Amino acid sequence: MTDRTAPPTAEAAGDRKILFLFIGLMITMLLAALNQTVLSTALPTMVGELEGVDLMPWVITGYILATTVVMPVYGRIGDLFGRKPVILAAISIFIAGSILGALAQNIDVLIAARVIQGLGGGGLMVLSQAAIADVVPARERGRYMGMIGAVFAVASVAGPLLGGWLTEGPGWRWAFWMNIPLGALAIGACVVFLQLPKVERTQRPKLDYLGMTLIATATTTLVLVSTWGGTKYAWSSPHIIGLIAATVVIGAAFCWAETRAVHPVIPMALFKDRNFTVTTIAALMIGIAMFGALGYMPTYIQMALGVSATVAGLLMIPMMGGLLVASVAAGRVVTRTGRYKAFPIVGSVIIGVGLALLSTLHIESPTWLMCLYLGVLGTGIGLSLQILTLIVQNSFPGGAIVGTATAATNYFRQVGSTLGAAIVGAVFANRLIGLLNEKLTGAVAPGGDVATERKHLTPEMVNQMPDPLRDLVIHAYNEALVPVFL
């Protein structure tokens, strides 16, 4: 990966115009970012009420999987047809999924709603970042990408806090209902503020339907391998071997199809650029580490520390602080110097250190120590996350393919996120159920046999248990999740 002084190739716009446009983009980004984290503190209560603890990973994985699958599709369609109408369509899909989630009466409908939300959320994240490249000069993008990182930082803590407050107050369903007014606000902001350059074409572009189908199928089979392997099926079972073979074959077919498509979803020529290849690999690894660890951290805090959903959200603030400061600072430095090579390298090292530190936590660990470790992890994420996108955008000056390149990098990061969430979720849920069966078989609480009722075990139920029984459950959660950080 090489440093490149960013050339001022994007069309310069007035400060006021960029400010208004950025407001619209930030609202859409916040909508998508919040919903990656808002359910984390509500998750134990949700799956407990809907009797779906064994399917808990799919509430998170379903959203991330759907987001991942559509990212490259949105990026390419935005390049071909213009970003504004595609952003509006993505918001509408997201709102539809939110309504379904608010009305869900069982875990299957809830998971389906999260998938629909993801189908819209993927477009919001990719197109908002690509739109910045349409109007902001390349040398100035570092500052704006830093602020996008700040939005994710705020959402990473505001989401769990909001989810905790809603769970303890009006109910977890309002984590879905709140998206309706937010979505309407995002649509209004896009209509008024997003005045983007129009795509001028003499004929209607031909979409790569084969490539879209193949990449969606390959991504899905890959996630099924990581979710079911070693849990629902043995790694040596025909189901897992078949899924692995299908992933390889379909992935190879996708690469072949992309070399022949007129407007490929992910042009293979992108990988000839060294910066793109290196940042893609880095994004994949960061996605695995970041979302795999953080998706279940609020659940661990609630169950292992015995705190409320709101307090669990508050305890994530140190991570937000580290991410916020590091992201904004890195963006400003890049804008001033035009250099960015060191940031993702240093950030990746700090992420590794943060995860290693989190793996040492135990029930007796002081809360301040956990917060310190989360702050270290957040700092590493802030130094890396948006800088990788900036590197890719500045590697492809000119607007014809910047959306596709941005989407491709985000896609591979989300593949990492999906794998991380699926692997950690599957291992966590499998270990947790096994540990609960082992520790609680025959144990009786005021509500009945705990081992039998484990599928709807909620934080409130755990807090009402006698001390010896509660300690067994808390240790089960600690033993199930903490080793996974390594």
> In 10 A of CB 399, how many CB atoms?
18
pLDDT reported for residue 454: 55
Given a cut of 60, whether residue 286 has pLDDT beyond it is yes
Alpha carbon 70 to its chain's center: 13
- Which residue type occupies 97? G
Classify residue 251 as exposed, middle or buried by CB count within 10 Å of its CB (0-12, 13-18, 19+): middle
pLDDT reported for residue 458: 63
Give 382's contacts (C-beta < 8 A, 6+ positions apart).
149, 153, 322, 323, 324, 325, 326, 327, 330, 347
Which residues share a beta bridge with 229?
233
Percent of the chain with pLDDT over 90: 13
* Token pair recorded at residue 335: 């804008």
Per the prediction, the chain carries an average pLDDT of 79
Q: Which of 55, 58, 73, 155 is nearest to 115 (CA)?
A: 58
- The model's pTM: 0.73
pLDDT reported for residue 11: 46
pLDDT reported for residue 89: 92
Q: Which of 188, 223, 273 is nearest to 1 (CA)?
A: 273
Q: Residue 142 and residue 140: Cα distance in Å, rounded?
A: 6
Q: How confident is the model at residue 400 (pLDDT cuts 50, 70, 90)?
A: low
Q: Which string of DSSP letters, residue by residue, matches 130-199?
A: HHHHHHS-GGGHHHHHHHHHHHHHHHHHHHHHHHHHHHHTT-TTHHHHTHHHHHHHHHHHHHHH--PPPP
- Sorted by where each starts, the structural domains of the chain and their CATH numbers stand as 15-197+263-485 (1.20.1250.20)
Q: Residue 151 and residue 324: Cα distance in Å, rounded?
A: 8
Q: Residue 255 and residue 143: Cα distance in Å, rounded?
A: 35
- Which residue type occupies 69? V
DSSP 3-state of 382: helix
Q: How confident is the model at residue 436 (pLDDT cuts 50, 70, 90)?
A: confident
What value does the mean pLDDT take over residues 176-203?
Answer: 78
pLDDT reported for residue 12: 45
